[in-house]
Amino acid sequence: MASVEHLTDRAPKVSVEELLDGFYPSPRFKDVSFSSYRPDPSQPSQSAAVRGLRAFAATVDEPEPSGLRKLFGARKAPSRAGIYLDGGFGVGKTHLLASLWHATQGPKAFGTFVEYTNLCGVLSFRKTVESLSGYNLVCIDEFELDDPGDTVMMSRLMRELADAGVKLAATSNTLPGSLGEGRFAAVDFQREIQVLADQFDVLRIDGEDYRHRGLPQPPAPLSESGLRDHVRNYSGNGGVLAEDDFGDLIHHLAGVHPSKYRQMLDGVEAVAWHRVSTITEQSVALRFVVLADRLYDRDVPIFASGVPFDKLFTDEMMHGGYMKKYYRAVSRLTALARQGGSVA
């Protein structure tokens, strides 16, 4: 029987060690592999991406030059330090990135772009470089540049890790040379953006969002009485059903650093949100995107009343500089709402 708690009562404290220990694929992707990826037969770029990543995995595990070759300065093969998976929402980029992580030997790190920027904030940039320079592979999921400071910091981080011999792999919905477009004056930071682009070979993955491929339309929100009945009758699997008023949850998130959202969801097997409403403030919306990502990572079903998730963000947001963040969040929340509709 599930216990009912409130996310608004949770404000976890996370140590630096716990932050460092968290750089591995989420539970949703803990058992994935190249073999478990199902390419769309009508999209040959998906099968090509698997082949390219298998070949890249072999370069990660190649031993460093030694003996006379190392003594006389053997040169590395003239390949770029990283591989970059570009494609739309739901084509399986994170699945493939996690498969690469599982297919290679350690030490290695796997995290989202936001988690790496948080790491730099907690450890300092220099200590982050020192911590990651001894790794064989660093995987960066959902690579997005939100402001000029992040652009400069991440370009430096990737350059220094590449110089240290670390292999890099990243996913995004934007080609490396286009990062930052529509969010800030990209022309003023073109040099830093180009440094990022120069680190990667690009694998384009075409296709439709698999979460919507052949599936019905997203379920309509529950009525308030229906949601209360659902919470009252929910049996679960012995974990926590986190029930919150949406407005209270939004207010609470402002006081919890996004780096702690993962720990805030510990033990939660489903969430119930009362009176979901459209978010109108950009800063609030961006925080909520992080929560949506962490819920998706943990495969947490959602039960909700109020507006449907395709109305969660304003039209202006859905067509603005952060539109890709918001479309990803809507896609993931819709998938979790569908899942909630199938849970008794």
Express each pLDDT in 258-316 by its tens digit.
Answer: 888 888 999 999 999 999 999 999 999 999 999 998 998 889 999 999 999 999 999 99
Question: Does 75 have pLDDT greater than 60?
Answer: no
Share above pLDDT 70 across residues of the chain, in percent, rounded to a whole number: 81
Domain-terminating residue out of 179, 207, 235:
207
C-beta separation of 299 from 265 below 8 A: no
Q: Scanning the structure block, which residue is given the tokens 């009176």?
A: 275
**Per-residue confidence (pLDDT) for residue 186, from 0 to 100:** 45
Q: Rounded to a whole number, what is the largest CA-CA distance in the chain? A: 75
Between CA 295 and CA 254 the distance in angstroms is 17
Between CA 259 and CA 93 the distance in angstroms is 22
| Cα distances (Å, whole numbers) of residue 135 to 104, 105, 179, 265, 344 | 11, 10, 25, 28, 44
Write the CB contacts of 43 (distance below 8 Å, at least 6 apart in sequence). 91, 205, 206, 207
- Better pLDDT: 5 or 210: 5
Evaluate whether residue 19 is within a structural domain.
no
SS3 270: strand
Share above pLDDT 90 across residues of the chain, in percent, rounded to a whole number: 43
Question: Does 214 have pLDDT greater than 90?
Answer: no
C-beta separation of 110 from 86 below 8 A: no
Tell whether 220 and 187 lie within a shared domain. no
Tell whether 46 and 127 lie within a shared domain. yes
Q: What is the pLDDT of residues 84-135, one digit of tens each?
A: 888 876 788 999 999 999 999 989 999 988 888 878 887 889 999 999 999 9
Question: Does 207 have pLDDT greater than 80?
Answer: no
Report how many domains make up the chain: 2
- Better pLDDT: 76 or 1: 1
Domain-terminating residue out of 148, 174, 207:
207
| Cα distances (Å, whole numbers) of residue 132 to 105, 234, 335 | 15, 43, 34
**Per-residue confidence (pLDDT) for residue 297, from 0 to 100:** 85
In which domain, by residue range, is 318 found? 3-13+213-341
**Per-residue confidence (pLDDT) for residue 154, from 0 to 100:** 81
pTM over 0.85: no
Lowest mean pLDDT among 2-16, 86-100, 141-155, 308-322: 141-155
Domain-terminating residue out of 207, 226, 254:
207
Between CA 66 and CA 48 the distance in angstroms is 33
Which of 264, 297, 250, 292 minimizes the C-alpha distance to 13?
Answer: 264
- φ and ψ at residue 25, rounded to 5 degrees: -60, 145
Tell whether 57 and 157 lie within a shared domain. yes
Q: In which region does residue 214 sit, left (phi positive, over 0), alpha (psi from -120 to 50) or beta (all else)?
A: left
**Per-residue confidence (pLDDT) for residue 147, from 0 to 100:** 59
Tell whether 186 and 48 lie within a shared domain. yes
Tell whether 230 and 203 lie within a shared domain. no
Evaluate whether residue 140 is within a structural domain.
yes
Tell whether 114 and 261 lie within a shared domain. no
The CATH number of whichever domain residue 115 belongs to comes to: 3.40.50.300
**Per-residue confidence (pLDDT) for residue 209, from 0 to 100:** 57
Tell whether 56 and 176 lie within a shared domain. yes
- Range of 28-42, 110-124, 148-162, 315-329 with top mean pLDDT: 28-42
If you average pLDDT over every residue of the chain, what do you get? Answer: 83
SS3 128: helix
Tell whether 52 and 194 lie within a shared domain. yes
**Per-residue confidence (pLDDT) for residue 212, from 0 to 100:** 53
Between CA 161 and CA 131 the distance in angstroms is 10
